[in-house]
């Protein structure tokens, strides 16, 4: 049985409990604390007590400490892989390569960034006075984490804040708290006590955390983002919101439909579609749509969900029973004109597995086009002109990512500025680099994860002006 306190004995919260469930079987495999309001307050107060020393440390000191944390994570990589897979049901190899080792790399990137501070150069903008800008930490940051990539999102959130000189309190998703607790336990010995800490629980713990910190960061749904923003506004707390996506893939007739369909299937069904950047809407030129659809359906049917014990599994289950039920409900109420050409239902047997699904005949106003399902479900729509493709691509509230598939790079260059998205891939999808920003406008939130821009929301600018004349 998994006991999160054994992972991190300094965890705030011990009495009330939340069951932890293996999504591959539906069985309870452990428990985690459900932190009370007082326990959340204790965590924030401890972080605030540690903040002055961490902020006063030199950038080089913070860099070395974050590098030690990355080394500890790398040295325990296999423990993190097993812990992550136990509560998410993910295959072991992609968990190792795409999450745990990626988290190590991103920690090291932000360790270097701790020594790189931007600011306006000193100058005499007013006669007799010299001005410059300091970029300072905000104090204590709070982080509401999702369940889809528990460890990687913990690093995406905490690393830029810590690099900027803040202390941070993480609240992982109720279903997947273990690896965030492991990371915070390693942080005690590498960063110092209460520089990075963890509270557990649900919405009540999250609401309490918002009220106590200087910046609250969320990776979650658009609806959750609205609630967090409202609470933060009432408390005067700044927000960093990375919210939902409904990514289109625009496919033009000058590409190989079979090859592209295989890549689209990977980007749609990886992690059982539980990715805000996943391909959810294939927009195919009408001349290539039949061949592309045939290949995409074949790829969907060939995609194998399964537990970590299955070495042939491409993806795991949905993480909670409630999520499985919500997804099935959406498919059950599809309009009769929408054709389910692959999948469309939960898989038989134990666990929360959902069949990779392809839908034809959806209209732009349909729920499956407009709503982020966070599941292995993709729609196929057609267009005849670039203008129509852009209209369809931009015709949803979310604007996180998009991709363009074409051999004509002049076409790609025309389309990129017209697509409303925080990231546009050309002939690729779901590829990330620590050096490049991640985030999007509209209902996809504000602020950026990754890259040097991630630090911005965790710092405060201070203008300093010196008067040097003799008056």
- Order the strands of the 17-21 sheet from edge to edge: 2-3, 28-33, 17-21
Q: Which two tokens stand for residue 238?
A: 């700044």
Q: Which two tokens stand for residue 95?
A: 């968990």
Q: Is 266 a residue of the active site? A: no
Q: Which two tokens stand for residue 356?
A: 């990779």
* Three-point CA angle 138, 141, 145, nearest 5°: 150
DSSP H stretches of helix in 164-256: 178-190, 203-212, 222-235
The catalytic position among 98, 242, 312, 367 is 242
* Three-point CA angle 243, 248, 250, nearest 5°: 155
Q: 247 CB contacts (<8 Å, ≥6 apart)?
A: 277, 278, 279, 280, 281, 400, 401, 402, 403, 421, 429
> What is the rounded distance in angstroms from the CA atom of residue 419 to the CA atom of residue 224?
25
> What is the rounded distance in angstroms from the CA atom of residue 75 to the CA atom of residue 465?
47
DSSP state, residue 95? I
Relative to beta strand 28-33, strand 17-21 is: antiparallel
Q: Are 88 and 316 in contact (CB under 8 A)?
A: yes
Burial of 253 (0-12, 13-18, 19+ CB in 10 A): middle
Instruction: Determine the 3-state secondary structure of 446 from DSSP.
Output: strand
**Could you give the residue numbers annotated as active site?**
242
């Amino acid at each position: 049985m998994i006991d999160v306190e054994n992972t991190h004995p300094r965890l705030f919260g011990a009495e009330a409990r939340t069951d932890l469930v293996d999504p591959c079987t539906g069985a309870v495999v452990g428990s985690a604390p459900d932190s009370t309001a007082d326990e959340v307050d204790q965590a924030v107060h401890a972080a605030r007590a540690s903040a002055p020393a961490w902020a006063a440390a030199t950038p080089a000191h913070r860099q070395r400490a974050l590098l030690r944390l990355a080394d500890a994570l790398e040295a325990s990589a296999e423990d993190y892989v097993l812990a992550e897979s136990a509560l998410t049901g993910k295959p072991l190899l992609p968990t190792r390569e795409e999450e745990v080792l990626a988290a190590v790399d991103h920690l090291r990137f932000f360790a270097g960034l701790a020594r790189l501070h931007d600011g306006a150069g000193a100058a005499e903008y007013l006669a007799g006075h010299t001005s410059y800008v300091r970029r300072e930490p905000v104090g204590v940051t709070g982080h509401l984490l999702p369940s889809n990539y528990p460890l990687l999102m913990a690093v995406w959130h905490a690393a830029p804040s810590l690099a900027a000189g803040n202390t941070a309190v993480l609240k992982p998703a109720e279903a997947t708290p273990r690896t965030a607790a492991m990371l915070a336990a390693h942080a005690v010995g590498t960063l110092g006590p209460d520089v990075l800490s963890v509270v557990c629980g649900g919405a009540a713990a999250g609401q309490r955390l918002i009220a106590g910190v200087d910046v609250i960061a969320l990776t979650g749904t658009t609806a959750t983002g609205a609630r967090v923003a409202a609470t933060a506004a009432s408390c005067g707390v700044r927000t960093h919101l990375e919210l939902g996506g409904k990514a289109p893939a625009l496919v033009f007739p000058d590409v190989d439909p079979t090859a592209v369909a295989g890549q689209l299937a990977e980007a749609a069904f990886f992690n059982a579609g539980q990715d805000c950047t996943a391909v959810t809407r294939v927009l195919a030129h009408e001349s290539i749509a039949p061949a592309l659809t045939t290949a995409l359906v074949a790829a969907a049917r060939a995609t194998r969900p399964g537990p970590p014990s299955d070495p042939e599994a491409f993806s795991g289950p949905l993480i909670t029973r409630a999520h499985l039920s919500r997804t099935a409900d959406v498919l059950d109420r599809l309009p009769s004109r929408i054709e389910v050409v692959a999948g469309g239902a939960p898989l038989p047997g134990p666990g929360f597995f959902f069949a990779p699904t392809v839908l034809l005949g959806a209209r732009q106003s349909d729920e499956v086009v407009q709503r982020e399902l966070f599941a292995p479900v993709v729609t196929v729509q057609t267009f005849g002109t670039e203008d129509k493709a852009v209209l369809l691509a931009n015709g949803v509230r979310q604007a996180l990512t998009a991709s363009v598939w074409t051999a004509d790079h002049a076409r790609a260059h025309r389309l990129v500025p017209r697509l409303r998205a925080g990231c546009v891939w050309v002939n690729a999808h779901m590829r990330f680099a620590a050096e490049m920003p991640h985030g999007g406008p509209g209902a996809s939130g504000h602020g950026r994860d990754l890259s040097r821009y991630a630090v911005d929301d965790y710092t405060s600018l201070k203008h300093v002006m010196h008067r040097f004349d003799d008056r």
